[in-house]
Each structure stands twice: as C-alpha cells, then as structure tokens.
Amino acid sequence: MSYLLLPSFNSKTVPVIVITDVAQAVPMAHALLAGGIDVMEITLRHPAGLPAIEAVAKAVPEMVVGAGTVTTPEQVQQVVNAGATFALSPGMTPALIAAVKAAKLPFVPGVMTPGEAMVAHEHGFQLLKLFPAAQAGGLAMLKAMGGPLSELRFCPTGGVSLANMNEFLALPNVAMVGGSWLTPVDLVVQAASSSDWSSITKLAQQATDQAASSQQ
C-alpha cells in the first residue's frame, strides 16, 4: 500500500483516542462502529497505545485502525508491526517522512502554516493534518489556504467539536475532521467499569448524523 493513499473508510469524523488500558480498545471499537464510525486514531501518548492498536487490528477487522502522535522513525515500524493501517503526526521531519516512505505506511503529516503545507506537498502528500487547528487559525486559515493551495486537503484537529464540525466539513479543502470529544476519558472509564459503552455509541452516532447533514 502506498504511503500516499489512506485505507478506505466512510466516516468523516476521526476519533483521536488516548487509551490507558488495553482492555478498553476492542469494546470501544465496537461502540464506535455501532454509531457509524469505522475509523480510529489510537495515539501513542500512553504506553497502552501500541497494544491497543494490535488488539483492535486483530479482533475488529471491520474497523480501520491508525496510529496517532507518531513522531519518530522508530515508532513507524512499531505501529506497522502492531497492525496500524495508517499513521498521523502532529508535525513532520525529514527522518519521519523517510521512514513512512520506506515502510509504505499511509501517512498524514501535521502542518500549521502554508510553508509547512508546501513542504509536505513537495514530498507527495495531499492530505494533511492541520494541527492544532484552533491555534493555527481554524476556519479562517483553511479558507485562506484554499486559494493558493487548492490541490491540498486537510483533516483539522484540535478545537474541532460537534458544535463546529459542520463548518469545517463545509469547506471544499476539508476531507474529514478529527477530535477527542468522541471518546472523552471520563466516559471511557465509566463505560469500561460498567461494561456499558452506549454513551460512546451515542456520541459516535451524533457525529455521524451531523456529518451526514452537512452533505445534504
């Protein structure tokens, strides 16, 4: 698989997930699927991230599982070994780009400025992660970059929520949005302790319905 092409999924909302207990991973994946979300970005911000990716990749094949917060070349091979089908980063470095190209791992580099977006495009990337989106200028920045960099598409993350996601999705250069509001830590802990993941399914369904309304 080319590092330029993400695996196919339907959701316009990518949950950005910090898993602190591997046991949370598989039931969370099923809960998100029940709400219409078929993609997960499990970040490497916690040591449970890599085994959580592996658990979902093995147990829930219908879920497209990717690795987030990939910042070093060493992590690239680790997430490939864990079964991640794509990776995202808050930024990009020459060494990181070389590693994902060598691994042929589909990759979404993080950018915050037009210059960084142009560098990513020079390396062949057309889908970029605007991060942190709110601090980078949010909607105004994406609109401004849409003219001179019209060939690029973005996944804004950071400051995106259920309340404003449709404003982002309405922009022609926004392919999808990412956010942590779909799997808030307190709800995940509560769901895991009670074995009732309906609250996560409800949030996923709200996002799915909201995204669908933006396309009508």
By annotation, the residues acting in catalysis are 41, 129
DSSP string of 22-66, one letter each residue: GGGHHHHHHHHHHTT--EEEEESSSTTHHHHHHHHHHH-TTSEEE
Residue 212 makes CB contacts below 8 A (sequence gap 6+) with none
| Integer Cα distance of 215 and 55 in angstroms | 33
- Sign of torsion over alpha carbons 51, 52, 57, 60: positive
- Count helices and strands in the chain by DSSP H and E runs: 10, 9
Instruction: For Cα atoms 178, 162, 203, give the angle at the middle one, nearest 5 degrees.
Output: 90
| Whether the Cβ atoms of residue 46 and residue 20 lie closer than 8 Å to each other | yes
| Integer Cα distance of 104 and 99 in angstroms | 8
